[in-house]
Structure 1
Amino acid sequence: MTAPGRRSSTFSRLLRHGFTDPSAAERLLESTELTAIRDDPVLLDALGATADPDLALLGFVRLLEAQPDGTAQRELLDTVIAAKPLRDRLLGVLGASAALGDHLARHPHDWQALVTYEPEDLHPGVEQFERGLAEATDPVSLRVAYRRCLLSIAARDVCGTTDVAQTAAELADLATATLRAALALARAAAPEDAALCRLAVIAMGKCGGHELNYVSDVDVIFVGEAADSTGSTGSTGSTGSTDSADEQKALQAATRLASHLMRICSESTVEGTIWPVDANLRPEGRNGPLVRTLSSHLAYYQRWAKTWEFQALLKARPVAGDIELGEEYIAALDPLVWQAAERENFIADVQKMRRRVVENIPAAEIERELKLGPGGLRDVEFAVQLLQLVHGRGDTSLRSGTTLDALRALAAGGYVGRADAVQLDEAYRFLRSMEHRIQLFRLRRTHLVPAAEDDQRRIGRSLGLRTDPVAELNREWKRHAAVVRRLHEKLFYRPLLDAVAQLAPGETRLSADAARERLVALGYADPASALRHLEALASGVTRKAAIQRTLLPVLLGWFADSADPDAGLLGFRKVSDALGKTPWYLRLLRDEGAAAENLARVLSAGRLAPDLLLRAPEAVALLGDGDGRGGGLEPREREHLEQEILAAVGRSENDEQAVTFARGVRRRELFRTAAADIVASYGTEEAPAAADQGALVELVGGAVSDLTAATLAGTLRAVVRGKWGDTLPTRFAIIGMGRFGGHELGYGSDADVLFVHEPRDGVDEQEAARAAGTVVAEMRRLLQIPSTDPPLLIDADLRPEGKSGPLVRTLTSYAAYYRRWSLVWESQALLRAEPVAGDEDLGRRFIELVDPLRYPAEGLGDDAVREIRRLKARMESERLPRGADPTLHTKLGRGGLSDVEWTVQLLQLRHGWAEPGLRTTRTRRALAAACAAELISGEDAATLDEAWVLATRVRNAVMLVRGRAGDMFPSGGRELAAVGRYLGYGPGHVGDMLDDYRRTTRRARSVMEELFYGA
């Protein structure tokens, strides 16, 4: 029994050496197996140097217990105490890997694999590993031999004999040797298959790149040919099919061999598994044949392969089987790999794939995801591969499949700044080291940093962090991840600025040709102009240039994410030229997180918003986070707009000056609304959810309608003030009609209105009529004065008698007309009537006058319903523009705005008298009320609503992109792509957008025909 004093002394020593459970360690040290050396300080010091002394001691005792007899135990003990290299390697492995400790306990003689310490053992290659696996005669013995080799790799790793890159290369070489051994076993089991075919195993992914993890799928592609084939790429047709019976038999034989190889490596036995062999990177993935001929592979990549498949081929390397055939495969596909950057939407495809990976990470894991999360290993790999594909076409030095080698080559060639490359190299090595130590513990495939403090402590100590391992590990991890998060800026955009800023003449930098090449890959159509803009913005030693050099790398990425990067960069230069000397401008972009991204989105989304901004660049301030006093992108309420405009009218010297100010407010607020719309629509990979699209439509419709009402109110006040002072001889009101009355105006909509007046007491009717006519004429004149602002056109054609009738009537005249002459279409038009400006009481009484017309008691009669249907059919046949595609015209086309609105309005006319919810000027509210009243099914209502929202969004998009209104999708490719980007469709998905539009409106047309025509 241990004396108390000695126990206390041992307990303290164990704590000092890093044991976390000294009591358990004391019990283990008292075991009979350690009798001979328990007091030897060498053992305790060696255990204290491991990642987890408790785990190392337990593993060592288990290994001693597993020895067959006392002689074997004494040999192990003597060797460990006498030989420091073995002691450090064995205990180092036991303290880092519970799984390898289990292996040694099952195979107690395998510790002797760590005794050899010769130059060849320091950095073994494929041949040495093949010798280590040579005695394996079946899958079980292959697993044992594999783990024995893995034991030596782990020992060199944890002792620092090899760095992380060398360890990863050794693991890839061991995988190569294992694939060869597995293929040999498969061939021995089926010699007749082996005789029929040539089979090449192409390593992909980390194995192909010589940078494998401890536990990872080994990605492969199989190439097969008949045994007597030369591997010619011209032996099959373009589909990859063949009529040769011998070749078919050879492929079948090769497939059986490949399948057997995969089973040998992947299946579980009493010794566990080696690793899964994954062939899903092959053409057509899981749906494609496991083995193809070389010509079939080539035909697929020439016709069908996606960008990511060429990116994957960067790491392709023949490793097993028929190496000559494998090299023919690489030689045949290599030219296609280095042409991938010329593909349309190349950069966008690669970035989209990266975003999709991040989006698929469970929310609960994203902060602990070492490989796939933001700032993780995949970020470095993707960025390096992107640069390789862009610049590797002309520079063969960049064509390494190994990430760190490629990064060094990029730095040497000036494609990446040297300091940036060093930072990325350090970050990548640290993150890979963490990944290795996490996987080594249980030999399980994972990239999640464990949450448990004990696990983090072991990882930190294994990386040499000993003062406070947990805190130091998390601090270093976050620091390196932060460096990686900036990799897109650092690796892709910053060198473009270095190429033009000319601030460090001694530095290697991109050549002009390489800079243009990179800009083309990013989607810039005019790289020469883009370089000139960058030079103008980034050159010089002024504070402005310095801040812009900080901002531009991020902005360039956002511009590249748009349909028109050139327009975004040009717009930024113009805004910066206008505001660059304004102190708040660059400070806003630098310090407010949202402002710079919002500006980039707005400048590259089309013509309307940038045109509005460039007429008043100070509106950039709206793009910030907002200050509660009109800042930010939240549309302002109509009341506040009216107050601002009316106050300015009161200060103006004349009516023209007043209206000029009102137009300025309108310009600013149109920009605010357009910017809010664009910012909300951008940045998503898929189209926004239907509810979000509807919210955006209502935001735009409400904001533009309120702004139009406030502008008309200000113009009316200016006219009255300029001609009559404070009081007009007649009461005057403006009634909004159509989309204006429905709060559904688009950016390019006319303002449909009716004008109504009523003479004041004691005023002659003719005088009142002349005054009202003057007001209307002056308002129209003032609003039509030529200007660079978007026009505000007043359309009064919905008035009684149309263009033939007077522009303005008294309320009594309206009553007489509607009583005697009103037609059913006028009742339908009045469904949208709502007072928008002028005398509120007169506006209210006008609505009281027309309510019985638009919500007729007992609904419409059959004759009226037939008349409405006849008018709709006539409009469809006569008003659709010649040559317009009826499936894509947003207003009059199949399932478009007209179809939905006429259907809803017929329901209002027929049932509004009985259903209060239908008494609204707004289409979506009326549709929802009809559904609530069970006049239409929920499914049909949703179909009509979706089509109406989509058609409205398209009309808004056309105006934003082209700067002028239109009811058709643009015909130009770039404009069409910009509309798609606004609607949430990424590059290359314009066809999907048009297909979705046709499908949505086709369903709406079917509902409309049933509900409106009774079909």
Structure 2
Amino acid sequence: MFTTRDFITAGFDDVERARTFLGAPELAPCDPAHLLEGLSTAADPDQALLSLVRLAERCPDVTGFVADARIRPRLFRLLGASEALTEFLLRHPDQLSLLRLDDAACGQQSAGELRRRALESVGADGPDGQWVAGTAGPEGAQALRVAYRAEIVRIALRDLNAADPLAVMPSVGAELADAAAAAIEAALAVARADLAQHYAPDDVAKVRLSVIGMGKCGARELNYISDVDVIYVHEAEGLEESDAAGIAAALASAMSQIVGSSGMEPGLWEVDPNLRPEGKDGALSRTLDSHITYYERWAQSWEFQALLKARHLAGDAALGRDYEAAVAPMIWSCSERDGFVESVQGMRRRVTENIPQQEVARQIKLGPGGLRDVEFTVQLLQLVHGRADVSVRVRDTTGAIRDLSEAGYIGRTDAIDFDSAYRYLRVLEHRIQLVHLRRTHLMPTKDSARRALARAAQPPSAAKRHSAELLMDRWQQTKRQVKSLHERIFYRPLLATAANLSTDEVKLSPEAAQARLAALGYLDPQGAMRHIEALTAGVSRRASLQRQLLPILLGWIAEGASPDAGLLGFRRISERLGESPWYLGLLRDSNAAAERLCRILSSSRLLTDWLEVSSESVAWLGSDDELKPMPAEQLLRENAAKLRRHNNSESGMRLVRINRRREMLRTALAEGAGLIDVEEVGASLSNADGACVQAALTVAEKEESDQRELITDVVVIAMGRQGGQEIGYGSDADVMFVHRTRDGADGQAAQEQATRIVTRISQLLTAPLKPAVPAEIKLTVDAALRPEGKQGALVRSLDAYREYYRKWALVWERQALLRARPMAGDEALAAEFMEVVDHVRYGTGLSEDDRREVRRIKARVEAERLPRGADPALHVKLGRGGLSDVEWLVQIIQMEHAGEHPALQTPSTLPALRAIADAGLLEREDAELLDAAWRLATRVRSATLIATGRPSDVLPRSWQDLEAVGRWCGYEQGGGGHLEEDYRKATRLARQVFEREFYGFH
């Protein structure tokens, strides 16, 4: 009747066997179409068909279920998903009546109802917590086990036929845990009846025993088959403690045997008491006082993590509640222990390391990206934050994820991802265990088993659409997602910092907060408290996150030079960003971003201003890649795109100038994070300036072309430190302007046009804009190094430059040309100009007269340009051993030897210095001394502007400013004095080299 294709479409692996079984006489009453329809919804149609035949042999009435459209899918989903439950139904055909339950009866049952039914199964009677079974011995155990497995069949029917298995997973785990607790309660009742043969009934009745659930059972998220971890606590009046302990232990042992020993009806699961104090070596049951004493004196951190799930399961409920209340304060204060966070993290690593190598790739529970990653992450967050925030004190994982997200400890998106991944992994675990009701957490290796798992994990309507390949793809994707979230959140350094704070400090109580602020070095604790109160007031998620972060951030802010200014800056930026969802989440999730921001805000007035007006740039702090300076080509493309979108020159240049400030900020943040050195800083800032000048030239030429034909090409040549790509954050742009008249154009007209263009460049770079660019450091173009200085033409033609340098170039002009570098404009014209320049600066060597002139000019600069009253030992530019000394020495060697050593032909000081040492023109040790002095002087010069907001070429004299500069230069707190000592030493040694090599002093 059915084709091979029909069987394959339904999901059968063995088509011929399926044909044979469908023709079995036991199934003759069934409509074949109903059979195939039902089997197609089964996870494993082959197994479901075999199980149906076996059931029909034992109980022919089961064939009637196939015709019932309501029962049919439930039957086949169960038979195809669980061989173990099929075996149970074969042993107890009367339990097939479970399939007839209506939706209400098959739905989730309350814990009380489950307990009532379990106690009823063993005929228990007596006061609550002291039930005694009417059916004792093996018969009682048998009755209990049958009743429990009947509940499992009912739960599995609900689970397997759910429209959304992930949605019902938490309620399934909760009901499984409640069923296990009910079974333990009934087993205790049987144990009391059994103990009547060995102990006086009155003595047994005097012992109040509470079974405390741990792990998944305690958290009400149990698997279908799992050890049930427990702890026993007892109390007794009128008995010696040794007698009470003996009876309690006997009750516990008997209960465990009743639940788990072999028998006609197999055992349910192992009752595992090894989480008790002292583990296997400890007493099986203790009094409440004994438990408390142990936890107060000897318990290890992992034991408190385990107690997070502790819940009374069975026995004396009042004693169980007393136990929960007694251990709760210890659970929620355990994170204050030294090294607590690190110990939990270490335990998770050990769990992973102890997985057999052949199982790692198949582990759903213990392996990387598995259930344990979710559970450890959630538990650590709860234990660290729960001591001050009662809202996250829940036992179950999905509830904890929800509450941690609502309180702001996990981002909303991360919480959704974590929750869905956890549910999916638990559903896989449940389906794998249902097959044989065996404890396993391993992904099957056989393709047929994986295909069955893929179908079982889906609702009946979608089962046929899921293959083994889709299953493995989704599982691997889920593992990657969980592993990423786990590594980012579980190893979040903020956790360790938060754990080291007292509860009062975490809660930001006014007294504790002000005392801590004063201890940290805040000069105005009351003012700081006003900022804290403004940031944390209210019940919004933002305020909640601020309350979570500030106790930690306050310490990092205090590590800067000015904590009070840093906290004010943090408030300004936080208020500027308002409800931006990424901002506080970034600080919570990224230790790098939080620490970098705090230290920048308390160390740099300038960067605080820049971040306030460009607050989206805070996002860069969480990524080293985002902080990497943009390449020159990318900056040029960005500026060109902005200009194309804005016909208005002022609008376009405003965006270009914002771009420049943005890149200056990016560079400063990267320098502050230690990601780039002074050479890279100079190159990055020069690239930003170059892109800005190129944009200004583009606008100026367009404005000119809108009025008249362009008859000349213009290039901008960078000079000085700009040419060497060695500028700081507030440097001007030393330049020369060159033009070349286009063919057929009038030379004088071209000169006039070029003058208009270069004049307009300066205006575009410095003119006030509407609206203004906040916190901008304007780029001033300085053409004073052109031929004849300020007396000469602002712009000259290429031929005029060639002629001038051929006839009139002085030695100082040759020296200035050592730094010449194309900055903007026509590339071909720039290349021709550089050919002229190269001949002048490298091609003629250095005569003795030239050498004397260079020395004379240098001596005059030292005598005349050093500001009156300035300490020559502390002036970073013109002082002894400072920038000028190093650069002039390098340049005189370049002028003398660059013609014969091409490696010296570079406009940058440090590459030239390295080439000089490589060529043997300077001792390597001397070159290293000069390099160190130059780098330190450059860093100090930039740091002064960054830290104080004021440009200066002198090492600060005030303690506060010197401290701020020192912190920016990488010195520890209180290291301003060390900076000055190091600077004096470095420049003194550099000056000795300079005087010996430049002046010939020995």
Normalising by structure 2, report the TM-score.
0.53
Q: What one-letter code is carried by the residue in structure 2 that aligns with 1:148?
A: A
Check if 1:63 corresponds to 2:71: no
The equivalent residue for 1:811 is none
Match 2:154 to one of 148, 152, 155: 152
Cα separation, partners in 2 of 1:613 and 1:87, compared to 1, 3 Å: closer
Cα separation, partners in 2 of 1:528 and 1:386, compared to 1, 3 Å: farther
Q: CA deviation at 1:591?
A: 8.6
Check if 1:330 corresponds to 2:318: no
Cα separation, partners in 2 of 1:368 and 1:654, compared to 1, 3 Å: closer
Distance 2:471 2:39 in 1: 21
Distance 1:258 1:530 in 2: 63
Give yes or no for contact 1:537–1:548 (8 Å, CA) kept in 2: no
Give yes or no for contact 1:649–1:658 (8 Å, CA) kept in 2: no
Q: What one-letter code is carried by the residue in structure 1 that aligns with 2:549?
A: A
Distance 1:530 1:190 in 2: 73
Give yes or no for contact 1:50–1:462 (8 Å, CA) kept in 2: yes
Give yes or no for contact 2:375–2:397 (8 Å, CA) kept in 1: yes
Correspondence list, 1:238-387, <5 A: 246-387=240-381
Percent identity reads: 38
Q: CA deviation at 1:158?
A: 0.4
Distance 1:590 1:222 in 2: 54
The equivalent residue for 1:195 is 205
Check if 1:117 corresponds to 2:117: no
Check if 1:135 corresponds to 2:138: no
Q: What one-letter code is carried by the residue in structure 2 that aligns with 1:466?
A: K
Q: CA deviation at 1:664?
A: 7.9
Give yes or no for contact 1:90–1:111 (8 Å, CA) kept in 2: no
Check if 1:170 corresponds to 2:175: yes
Cα separation, partners in 2 of 1:332 and 1:785, compared to 1, 3 Å: closer
The equivalent residue for 1:81 is 67
Distance 1:790 1:469 in 2: 75
Q: CA deviation at 1:538?
A: 8.9
Q: CA deviation at 1:471?
A: 2.0
SS in 2 for 1:319: strand
Distance 1:106 1:92 in 2: 19
Distance 2:555 2:106 in 1: 45
The equivalent residue for 1:474 is 472
Distance 1:418 1:42 in 2: 46
Distance 1:247 1:354 in 2: 38
Give yes or no for contact 2:44–2:452 (8 Å, CA) kept in 1: yes
Give yes or no for contact 2:225–2:439 (8 Å, CA) kept in 1: yes
Q: CA deviation at 1:574?
A: 7.9
Q: CA deviation at 1:478?
A: 2.4
The equivalent residue for 1:126 is 111
Give yes or no for contact 2:235–2:288 (8 Å, CA) kept in 1: yes
Correspondence list, 1:576-725, <5 A: 589-590=624-625, 616=677, 647-648=916-917, 650=919, 658-661=927-930
Q: CA deviation at 1:218?
A: 0.5
Q: Deviations over 1:978-1002 (max 9, x none)?
A: xxxxxxxxxxxxxxxxxxxxxxxxx
SS in 2 for 1:414: coil
Q: Deviations over 1:702-732 (max 9, x none)?
A: xxxxxxxxxxxxxxxxxxxxxxxxxxxxxxx
Give yes or no for contact 1:33–1:65 (8 Å, CA) kept in 2: yes
Distance 2:38 2:415 in 1: 37
Cα separation, partners in 2 of 1:513 and 1:98, compared to 1, 3 Å: same
Distance 1:789 1:224 in 2: 77
Match 1:213 to one of 223, 229, 236: 223
SS in 2 for 1:123: coil
Q: Deviations over 1:827-863 (max 9, x none)?
A: xxxxxxxxxxxxxxxxxxxxxxxxxxxxxxxxxxxxx
Q: CA deviation at 1:616?
A: 4.2
The equivalent residue for 2:726 is none
The equivalent residue for 1:844 is none
Farther-moved stretch of structure 1 (120-129 vs 311-320): 120-129
The equivalent residue for 2:10 is 17
The equivalent residue for 2:547 is 513
Match 1:395 to one of 389, 394, 411: 389
Give yes or no for contact 2:260–2:269 (8 Å, CA) kept in 1: yes
Give yes or no for contact 1:457–1:469 (8 Å, CA) kept in 2: yes
Give yes or no for contact 1:533–1:569 (8 Å, CA) kept in 2: no
The equivalent residue for 1:43 is 35
Give yes or no for contact 1:201–1:222 (8 Å, CA) kept in 2: yes
Q: Deviations over 1:139-179 (max 9, x none)?
A: 33332332222111111110117711111111001100111
Check if 1:226 corresponds to 2:236: yes
Q: Deviations over 1:797-844 (max 9, x none)?
A: xxxxxxxxxxxxxxxxxxxxxxxxxxxxxxxxxxxxxxxxxxxxxxxx
Cα separation, partners in 2 of 1:347 and 1:655, compared to 1, 3 Å: closer
Cα separation, partners in 2 of 1:371 and 1:651, compared to 1, 3 Å: same
Q: What one-letter code is carried by the residue in structure 1 that aligns with 2:927?
A: A
Q: What one-letter code is carried by the residue in structure 1 that aligns with 2:286?
A: R
Cα separation, partners in 2 of 1:297 and 1:784, compared to 1, 3 Å: closer
SS in 1 for 2:283: coil
SS in 1 for 2:465: coil
The equivalent residue for 1:960 is none
Equivalenced residues, count? 606
Q: What one-letter code is carried by the residue in structure 2 that aligns with 1:167?
A: V
Give yes or no for contact 2:65–2:75 (8 Å, CA) kept in 1: no
Give yes or no for contact 1:379–1:485 (8 Å, CA) kept in 2: yes
Cα separation, partners in 2 of 1:567 and 1:14, compared to 1, 3 Å: closer
Cα separation, partners in 2 of 1:495 and 1:94, compared to 1, 3 Å: farther
Q: What one-letter code is carried by the residue in structure 2 that aligns with 1:432?
A: R
Q: What one-letter code is carried by the residue in structure 1 that aligns with 2:115?
A: E
The equivalent residue for 1:91 is 76
Distance 1:789 1:65 in 2: 100
Distance 1:408 1:647 in 2: 64
Give yes or no for contact 1:784–1:791 (8 Å, CA) kept in 2: no
Structure with greater Cα Rg: 2
Correspondence list, 1:740-889, <5 A: 786-787=984-985
Cα separation, partners in 2 of 1:662 and 1:183, compared to 1, 3 Å: same
Give yes or no for contact 1:93–1:158 (8 Å, CA) kept in 2: yes
Q: Deviations over 1:505-530 (max 9, x none)?
A: 98656343322456799999999899
Q: CA deviation at 1:359?
A: 1.8
Q: CA deviation at 1:461?
A: 0.8
The equivalent residue for 1:698 is none
Distance 1:101 1:790 in 2: 90
Cα separation, partners in 2 of 1:524 and 1:34, compared to 1, 3 Å: farther
Q: What one-letter code is carried by the residue in structure 1 that aligns with 2:169?
A: V
Give yes or no for contact 1:346–1:521 (8 Å, CA) kept in 2: no
The equivalent residue for 2:187 is 182
Give yes or no for contact 1:214–1:436 (8 Å, CA) kept in 2: yes
Give yes or no for contact 1:537–1:573 (8 Å, CA) kept in 2: no
SS in 2 for 1:315: coil
Q: CA deviation at 1:96?
A: 0.5
Farther-moved stretch of structure 1 (326-335 vs 379-388): 379-388
Q: CA deviation at 1:358?
A: 1.6
Match 1:485 to one of 483, 490, 494: 483
Q: What one-letter code is carried by the residue in structure 1 that aligns with 2:42?
A: T
Q: Deviations over 1:450-478 (max 9, x none)?
A: 12211111111112253342122122222
Cα separation, partners in 2 of 1:642 and 1:204, compared to 1, 3 Å: same
Give yes or no for contact 1:347–1:522 (8 Å, CA) kept in 2: no
Cα separation, partners in 2 of 1:149 and 1:468, compared to 1, 3 Å: closer
The equivalent residue for 1:597 is none
Q: What one-letter code is carried by the residue in structure 2 that aligns with 1:304?
A: W
C-alpha root-mean-square deviation of aligned residues, in Å?
Answer: 5.0
Q: Deviations over 1:86-141 (max 9, x none)?
A: 22222111110111122222222221122121424311123333354333433333
SS in 1 for 2:426: helix
Q: What one-letter code is carried by the residue in structure 1 that aligns with 2:217?
A: C
